[in-house]
Structures are given as C-alpha cells and as structure tokens.
Amino acid sequence: MVFDGKISIISNETGGKIEKNIPLMKYISNSPFIHDLSNAAEQGTPLLEIGHGLPKVMITAGIHGNELPPQIATIWLINELSKVKLKGTVYIIPFAIPHATMENSRRFKGMDMNRTASKGGFISNSIIKNIKNLNIGNVADFHSTKPGSNPGVESVFCSKSPCYESFLMAEYITGVTSSKIICHDKAGKMYNGALEDECNLAGIPAITCEVVSRNGLVDGKSPERSYLQMKSYLKYFKII
C-alpha cells in the first residue's frame, strides 16, 4: 500500500501500541505504511490528511478503543483513497486513543471520551480544536454497538438543530446503506460531550455512525458495513 498523504500527531498523551490489539491486527495487513502509522500511534493520536482543496471533511474512529470495526475500516479506506484522485481533502483519525485501542478498552483514564468533548484537556476536545483550526467543514464519528445495547442496531445519529446538514448527511447515508436513522431535534440534549454533539453545537455538521459488533471483537461483516458507511459519507460530498 502506498500512502502519500501527511501524518501528524494531535495529542501526545494518548499513545499506545496498537499492534498489541490482536483481534484488530488480524484485519490489518502489514505494510511500510502500517509501520509508520503504528510508530505515530505510539506517540499519540495520529491525524492523516489525504487529497487537497475543498470540501474538507473528517472521519474519526476509536473514541471507544474497544470498538474495532470502524478502526479497521479506516485503514481499508486510507488504502482505497490513496489509489484514487479525490475532489477535496479527507482528514482521518483511525485511532483516536491508541492507548485505549492497545488495551481494547472503551474508557481512557477511567472515562468515556465521548462524553468529554466540551471540556478542555480531553482528547475529544483536542480533536474539535483541530477541526476548527483546520477549517474542516463536516465530521463523521464511527463506532460499533453490541447487540442488545443502545442503539444495538446499525444506525446513524444526527440532529436537525443547530446544523440541519447533520440530518441531510444521515439521511443520505442511511438511504444508501439501509442503516437506521436516529435523529434528535437539538444537538447536545441526549449526549452531552459527545464529539458529534459538540461539533454540531459549534456549527460544524456532524453525525455518529454505528455498526453492530460485540465490544473488543470483530463480528460478521461489521468492518465492511462501517467501510460502506464511510464511503457513502464521502459520496455525499462527491469527494469520491
């Protein structure tokens, strides 16, 4: 695999050895790029930039380190995007918290980082600061959900206010993938401190995409389903 984009590190508190996550690594084939990426992840949260120009969109995975399908899907996506000409810039955070990925853990320092995005000093908040600094226009945060939990089904979370485009993005992706749309009227009501909600509240349209897999494991075709959600997100913007 050839990756000719940029890798930067946006936090130096989150580093970990992702290659210690055995169920994850079963789906990622070794290459010079993976070697570079895992070296970067050891130092902190890696941020990849592919393509150039507008629109600028972001894909994040691994805010919950034990949700493996989207973290695998981002690697597949980077591989795919490296081969084609993009109409815009795609920023990808494949492992938001490499330390949590290494430990196959939902939490980092005992906390759920998808509830802390409004508070300075937390990685989810640092991600939002980078989104603002880079003038990224839209964000999709990818997760997995275990059967029988909330939401427990393949789905896309969105809200209609203050960013109506959050709903439009979710409507498009659910139309293409048959994921269920879960729409709230206002951002920040149900999930205060979620990356998606805090982006929407900051005026940056955002969604959360879920596929179904048990925590810490890779069930069925869950990475493929996450990958499909990611590609349809990029197709919404006509980047691919």
* Residue number with the smallest Cβ distance to Zn ion: 143
Stretch that binds Zn ion, among 72-80, 88-96, 138-146, 170-178 (CB under 5 A): 138-146
Distance of closest approach, residue 176 Cβ to Zn ion, in angstroms: 22
Minimal distance, residue 115 CB to Zn ion, in Å? 11
Q: Which of residues 94-133 bind Zn ion (CB under 5 A)?
A: none
Q: Which is nearer to Zn ion, 56 or 64 (CB)?
A: 64
| 51 versus 154: smaller Cβ distance to Zn ion | 154
Contact letters (x/-) for Zn ion, 33-72, by CB under 5 A?
-------------------------------x--x-----
Judged by CB under 5 A, which of 37, 38, 101, 143 binds Zn ion? 143
Shortest Å, Cβ 173 to Zn ion = 17
Q: How far apart are CA 116 and CA 39, in angstroms?
A: 26
167-196 binders of Zn ion (CB under 5 A): none
* Of 73-81, 136-144, 158-166, 226-234: span binding Zn ion (CB under 5 A): 136-144
Q: Which residues contact 7 (CB under 8 A, 6 or more apart)?
A: 36, 37, 40, 46, 47, 48
- Which pairs count as long-range contacts for 73-78, CB under 8 Å and 24+ apart, including other chains? 73/142, 73/223, 73/224, 73/226, 73/227, 73/229, 73/230, 74/142, 74/230, 75/27, 75/28, 75/34, 75/37, 76/223, 76/227, 77/227, 77/230, 77/231, 78/1, 78/3, 78/5, 78/33, 78/48, 78/50
Nearer residue to Zn ion within complex by CB, 89 or 166: 166
Beta bridge partners of 39: none
Q: Which residues of the shown chain bind Zn ion in the complex (CB under 5 A)?
A: 64, 67, 143
